[in-house]
Amino acid sequence: MVKAGNHLNRSAMHLLHRAGQCAADIFSAEARASGLTPRQYAVLMVVAEEEGLTQTDLVERTGIDRSTLADIVARLLGRGLIQRRRAKEDARAYAIKLTPQGARALREAQPGATATDTQLLASLPPAKREDFLESLSLIVTAIRK
């Protein structure tokens, strides 16, 4: 009989999940002052890069599922970090814009996000860090087609 721990330690699905948990824990500690979660940070980053995106655009760019993204948007709206208005191209959709408070929260979280990436990548030998990032990107790109 194979021990569960041994099998899980060879499971890409399990290890990616655990690595994601580690990343979220580090981010929570490093970016505590911003009050953002990693996914809220990702949404604010995308909105800051391209203002006026719809929630559908945000789903495509972040990979966050629709219902979770709707909850994130509601929370960010409630905190005054984003605002939304009807999109010019589609009156049924909302265009999302960063507020000054949202820009401030993003600035406050940025050092924590950078520290999170640094800590995660420091776990790997320097020669493997870029390959690791490329491998993760390949997985995401291949599966999201």
The better pLDDT of the pair 29, 92 is held by: 29
Contact by Cβ (8 Å): 90, 97: no
pLDDT of residue 1: 46
**In the structure encoding, which two tokens stand for residue 8, read together?**
């899980």
Tell me what percent of the residues of the chain surpass a pLDDT of 90: 78
Sheet holding 94-98, edge to edge: 53-54, 94-98, 82-86
Report pLDDT digits (tens) over 13-44: 999 999 999 999 999 999 998 999 999 999 99
- Give the model's pLDDT for residue 5: 60
Mean pLDDT of 48-59: 92
Strand partners, 53: 96
**Domains of the chain (ranges, CATH numbers):** 31-113 (1.10.10.10)
Q: Residues 102, 44: contact at Cβ < 8 Å?
A: yes
